[in-house]
Chain A
Amino acid sequence: MAPMKIVALITVIITGGLLLYATGDFPAWGDPLSPANNSALSRHYIEQSRVETAVPNLVTAVLADYRGYDTMFETVVVFVAGLAILAVLGQGTSRERAAIQRSAERYQERDMINIMTARLIVPVLQLFSLYVLAHGHYSPGGGFQGGVMFGASFILIALAGGLPEALSRLSIPGALLLAGLGVLLYGGTGLVCMMLGQNFLDYHILHRLLPATDAVMARYHAMLIVEIGVAFTVTAIMFIIYAALSSRGRMTGGL
Chain B
Amino acid sequence: MEIVTSIIPLLACLASLLAVIPIVVFRKSPNLREAATVVAGVAKLSLVLTMLPGILSGKVYEFTFIEIIEGIPLQFRVDGLGMLFALVASSLWILTSFYAVGYMRGLKEHAQTRFYSFFAISLSATLGVAFSANLFTLYVFYEMLSLATFPLVTHNQDKEARSGGRTYLSYLLGTSVGFVLPAMIFCYVKSGSSLSFTELHDWSGVLDPSAALLLLLLFVFGFAKAGIMPFHSWLPNAMVAPTPVSALLHAVAVVKVGVFSVIRVFTGVLGTDFLSTVDVATVVSWAAGATVIISSLIAMTQDNLKRLLAFSTVGQLSYITLGVSLLATQAVQGSMLHIPMHAFGKITLFFCAGAIYVATGKKYISQMRGLGRAMPWTFGAFAIAAMSVIGLPLTGGLLSKMYMIWGAANAQQHALLAVYLVSSVLNGVYFFPIVYRAFLGKPADGEMHDRVKEAPLACVIPLVITATVSVLLFFFPGVFFELTTLMISSKS
Direct contact of A and B (CB under 8 A): no
* B-to-A contact residues, CB < 8 Å: none
Task: Point out residues on A near B: beta carbons under 8 Å.
Answer: none
